[in-house]
Amino acid sequence: MYNNLGAQPGVPRPPTNPQPNPFGNSFYGAGSGLIRGGLGAYGEKILGSSSEYVQSNISRYFSDPQYYFQVNDQYVRNKLKVVLLPFLHRGHWTRITEPVGGRLSYKPPIYDINAPDLYIPFMAFGTYVVLAGLSLGLQGKFSPEALNWLFVKGLFGWFLQVSLLKVTLLSLGSGEAPLLDILAYAGYAFTGMCLAVLGRIIWRYSYYFVMPWACLCMGIFLVKTMKRVLFAEVRSYDSSKHHYLLLFIALAQFPLFTWLGNISVNWLF
């Protein structure tokens, strides 16, 4: 009878109440919570480990670029003395460390004269290009194309110096030095190059005295610096191979400086 009444139009049908499941919601909530929590923890672990891995490798090979520009006037003066007169540097050649975040880190250049910086190399490179253009102008050979070739020549010479230092460290089993460190050490060559080019502009024959002096000082500076890096990072190496490679670095400065110091329209010679 109730079914017939419910089927008649205008007569409301009694609501149907489904039987509640006392275990469904609880199991669903608990299961989804466990899944979400487990996946979240696992994802955070993966992302965290990958982030630490990327940061560690970036800091190992590239470091923080801002670190290399923390300089002041006193540091620049003292650093130029070390680069241009390395045999007068009476202090040690090792870098100063300090604990940061539970691990040892090197102090920035403003607090450590032995720390590498990029301010001096970039300024020296720009000065080298300007002096080279001035030298061409005094010879009556200046042109925008010639200055552009000298700029490319300087960059290529910088690249050759970086490659020389990097290959030397790799040959001795110390290839983990940050790339920006090597870039800074290689760029210090332009400080002596600027003196040589300036000497040629002031007095032509002074170039033949200043250029060998700049090569010798740069060779001594790089040998002292590379020995410090090697002693700090290399655990085992062949002593004879070690000395031969350091001597090769010093001797390689003479052809490199001679090539960079030859200011002419033809940048290859």
pLDDT tens across 24-54, in order? 444 444 444 444 444 444 444 444 443 343 3
Distances (CA, A) of 182 to 123, 135, 172, 175, 178: 17, 29, 15, 11, 7
Q: What is the DSSP string of 158-205?
A: HHHHHHHHHHHHHHTT-TTS-HHHHHHHHHTHHHHHHHHHHHHHH-GG
Residue 176 pLDDT greater than 80, yes or no:
no
- Tokens 């033809």, residue located: 266
Asked whether the beta carbons of 147 and 133 are under 8 A apart, the reply is yes
Domain boundaries, position 232: 71-90+117-259
Q: Is residue 204 domain-resident?
A: yes
Q: Is residue 226 domain-resident?
A: yes
Which token pair is 57? Answer: 């490798």
Q: Is residue 25 domain-resident?
A: no
At residue 268, the pLDDT reads 61
Residue 133 pLDDT greater than 70, yes or no:
yes
Q: For 58-65, which contacts have Cβ atoms below 8 Å and span 24 or more sequence positions?
A: 59/178, 60/176, 60/178, 61/176, 61/178, 61/179, 62/178, 62/179, 62/180, 63/178, 63/180, 63/181, 65/118, 65/180
Residue 194 pLDDT greater than 60, yes or no:
yes
Asked whether the beta carbons of 182 and 222 are under 8 A apart, the reply is no
Q: Is residue 192 domain-resident?
A: yes
At residue 116, the pLDDT reads 93
Q: Is residue 266 domain-resident?
A: no
Domain count, the chain: 1
Task: With cut-offs at 50, 70 and 90, classify the pLDDT of residue 267.
Answer: low
Q: Is residue 7 domain-resident?
A: no
> Between residues 169 and 267, which one has the greater pLDDT?
169
pLDDT digits (tens, 9 = 90+) for 74-131: 999 999 999 999 988 887 888 888 887 778 788 999 999 999 999 999 999 999 999 9
Tell me the one-letter amino acid at 2: Y
Q: Is residue 79 domain-resident?
A: yes
Q: Is residue 144 domain-resident?
A: yes
- Tokens 């050490």, residue located: 185
End-to-end CA distance of the chain: 113
